[in-house]
Structure 1
Amino acid sequence: MRHEELFYLLALQKVEGVGDIVAKKLISHCGTAENVFQTKAAQLKMIDGIGSMVLRNLKDKLVFEKAEAELRFIEKNNINWTYFGDEKYPERLKHCIDGPVLLFASGNINLNKKRIISIVGTRQITSHGTEFCKNLIAELAPLDPIIVSGFAYGVDIVAHQAALEHNLQTIGIVAHGLNQIYPKIHKRYVSKIEENGGFMTEFWSSSNPEKENFVKRNRIVAGISEATIVIESADKGGSLITANMANDYNRDVFAVPGRITDKFSQGCNNLIKTQKANLLTSAADVVYILNWNFETKAKPIQKQLFISLNNNEQKIYDYLQKTGKQLLDIIALECDFPIYKISSTLLDMELKGVIRPLPGKLFEAI
């Protein structure tokens, strides 16, 4: 059954004039991709956006030959696949009108977690950007998010590597078929990524990493995740396209600010200036904006490790140890702490595992 289902989905993809949006309309109206080919033209013509060209092309028998060839490749190489009507299809992508009809995957991807973030940026990452990206993922690691990126040079591969270092699931969204690796130099990371994560694409084995494919795959990077983070970007680039797509999908976007004279801070600064991105200075900003609750998978921090707290954090911790549960505003007042700084400080302490948030803006020491 799945064999036939995939065959007709592949065939429908090869019908000229049928893109993701039109294919979804046809399948939703007919029930299955197979039914699309069997439904009379008079009925299909009643669907909004279905014209004579599409109806004529649906009769092209060559689409079945192409589908058969790709089906053999998928089955021979044990490629995983899902389509937009499946339970396994990424939940957030289901809400993107132009999300891909079919997704192919390799590795051990598990999207059952709610926390999925995409990290993108320039291919010419600076040492500052590298350090920030690594530190950000290290700080977020106790929250066990899935890290999505595009497996390209620069920010992408730094994000994947950092995720691997902290045993986080990481997914590379590639702009070509799963029969190849691009860039080839990144082949050394493939097996490690597939152990805890993997690769996803909408492209067939016949698709090469062409320029337009990278722009197209960016909508998956933006649509699959809860938020998109731009580490560094010039005033033009693929990461800005991804950020704009994320905004169109009503997803949160974060950008790391930089000096106005830095070439690879211009894109981020413009996103912040035009209110298309939240300013990102630390993991605490992500946790706060996305309203993530801290549930560490690490062992609780022991008292002998409290030396990692700075003076302000230690003062707040000692106060909560003494008083028990307390309101955010009261903590700021009693600890003589500026109200505009207290939220980020408390979130930093959450990430260190020394306090926990409670309903009603209450906090308590662990």
Structure 2
Amino acid sequence: MVNSELIAALRLQNVPNIGDVTAKKLIAHCGSPEAVFDDKLHHLKKIDGIGTAKLKGLFDSEHLEAAHVEYQFILENDITCSYFLNSDYPSYLKHCIDSPILLFMRGNLDLEARKIISVVGTRNITSYGMAFCEAFIEDIAPLNPIIVSGFAYGVDICIQKTAIKHGLQTIGCLAHGLNQIYPKVHSRYMNDVEKNGGFLSEFWSTQNPDRENFLKRNRIIAGMSEATVVVESAERGGSLVTADIAHGYNRDVFAVPGRAGDKFSSGCNNLIKQQKAHMLTKAADLIYLLDWELEKEETKTVQKQLFIELDDTEKSIYTYLQKEGKQLLDSIALECSLPVFKASSTLLNMEMKGVIRPLPGKLFEAI
């Protein structure tokens, strides 16, 4: 973007009543952010879905002054601005109606033509969660994906440190301006992250890590990725909000299962139970469901581990799926003479044993 267009976009972003959806409507109607401010107020009011209330204060000089100040901060701090219509804007995020018109980036980010997944979870990560993060990143590293997280305590910083350890690009999506870091104790990791990816935010240097900013930030984590992985979560938490947003964007969501009764596995178990997330026990599950390339040797290793003990009901289902291929739950229940609830619970047990895979569209197949 040329300087005048960037300043106009910043100016538009600073108007309180104009959110991302309204800003995009104005830009689409007028042709550019700068053209919005060249138009007349009475013309803009006639745009479908806009109205007087949203345009209140649009031409106030304070927004232009603030835009110039923020623009100066951007220049002085080597920050890259990504406009939502440009090629350097995260491709998956472009498809989200409420994505920001501007993103601010710092570091060595390369988002073009790359596999991107988000990993989120509790701030109170357990040894189980840490072990999963290490194994997951180690197994997925040959595919060289970008790992996105929120740079917070717990799962976030664990997965990002592990990504750096294995040479993967990682992005910290922040809930505040790029002039600060939260939590401050994570400042020690900033240089490593910037060398191996960087930081991204929609927030200005004047904006602090307020609670509502974390909720807004979650939609970016969910929206810019092909899939979102929840490693550990209690029954409530920000990671479940991110998972819900990703589900609403029609993105794949994965959850790491845990034992019944474990506090920081209950959120993941509920996502799986509610069929909002695929069960994730190893990186190969995600690789397969996202249709990423798998090395032949890895496929063979997975297949050799499948000969485990099944009860009669499980054998019946497994034999049917081997013969018929991918099938819906209702078809499995009908052909195996099982009530749907029984078929569903049996399939979940078989998934835990690693002998079947759930597929998009509520299909199942034998491995």
- Paired position in structure 1 for 2:79: 79
Q: In the alignment, residue 78 of structure 2 is paired with which amino acid?
A: N
- Paired position in structure 1 for 2:228: 228
Using the aligned pairs only, state the percent identity: 56
- Paired position in structure 1 for 2:247: 247
Q: Structure 2: give runs of 5+ residues left out of the alignment.
A: 308-321, 324-349, 358-367
Query: Match of 2:164, SS?
Result: helix
Q: How does 1:9-48 map to 2 (within 5 A)?
A: 9-48=9-48
- Paired position in structure 2 for 1:361: none
Q: Structure 1: give runs of 5+ residues left out of the alignment.
A: 302-307, 316-328, 331-339, 348-366
Q: In the alignment, residue 4 of structure 2 is paired with which amino acid?
A: E
Q: Take 2:225 and 2:180, find their aligned partners in 1: how far apart are those partners?
A: 25
- Paired position in structure 2 for 1:280: 280
- Paired position in structure 2 for 1:114: 114
Q: CA deviation at 1:44?
A: 1.1
Q: CA deviation at 1:212?
A: 0.8
Q: Take 2:227 and 2:247, find their aligned partners in 1: how far apart are those partners?
A: 9
Q: Take 2:74 and 2:231, find their aligned partners in 1: how far apart are those partners?
A: 35
TM-score by length of 2: 0.81
Q: 1:26 to 1:167 in 2, by over 3 A?
A: same
Q: CA deviation at 1:288?
A: 1.2
Q: In the alignment, residue 239 of structure 1 is paired with which amino acid?
A: S
Q: In the alignment, residue 22 of structure 1 is paired with which amino acid?
A: T
Query: Match of 2:148, SS?
Result: strand
Q: Take 2:100 and 2:295, find their aligned partners in 1: how far apart are those partners?
A: 33
Q: CA deviation at 1:41?
A: 2.2
Query: Match of 2:254, SS?
Result: strand
**CA deviation profile, 1:205-229 (whole Å, cap 9, x unmatched):** 0011111111110000000000000
Q: How does 1:119-268 map to 2 (within 5 A)?
A: 119-268=119-268
Q: CA deviation at 1:47?
A: 1.2
**CA deviation profile, 1:15-40 (whole Å, cap 9, x unmatched):** 12101000010011101111101112
**CA deviation profile, 1:135-161 (whole Å, cap 9, x unmatched):** 111110111111000000000001001
RMSD of aligned Cα (Å): 2.6
1:143 and 1:295 in contact (8 A); partners too: no
Q: Take 1:26 and 1:314, find their aligned partners in 2: how far apart are those partners?
A: 56
Q: 1:346 to 1:197 in 2, by over 3 A?
A: farther
**CA deviation profile, 1:288-331 (whole Å, cap 9, x unmatched):** 111111369xxx99xxxxxx96993699xxxxxxxxxxxxx79x
Q: Take 1:309 and 1:266, find their aligned partners in 2: how far apart are those partners?
A: 30
Runs of 4+ in 1 over 2 A off after TM superposition: 53-56, 308-315, 344-347
1:142 and 1:295 in contact (8 A); partners too: no
Q: 1:186 to 1:291 in 2, by over 3 A?
A: same
- Paired position in structure 1 for 2:337: none
Q: 1:16 to 1:310 in 2, by over 3 A?
A: closer
Query: Match of 1:57, SS?
Result: coil
1:117 and 1:229 in contact (8 A); partners too: yes
- Paired position in structure 2 for 1:70: 70
Q: Take 1:262 and 1:229, find their aligned partners in 2: how far apart are those partners?
A: 18
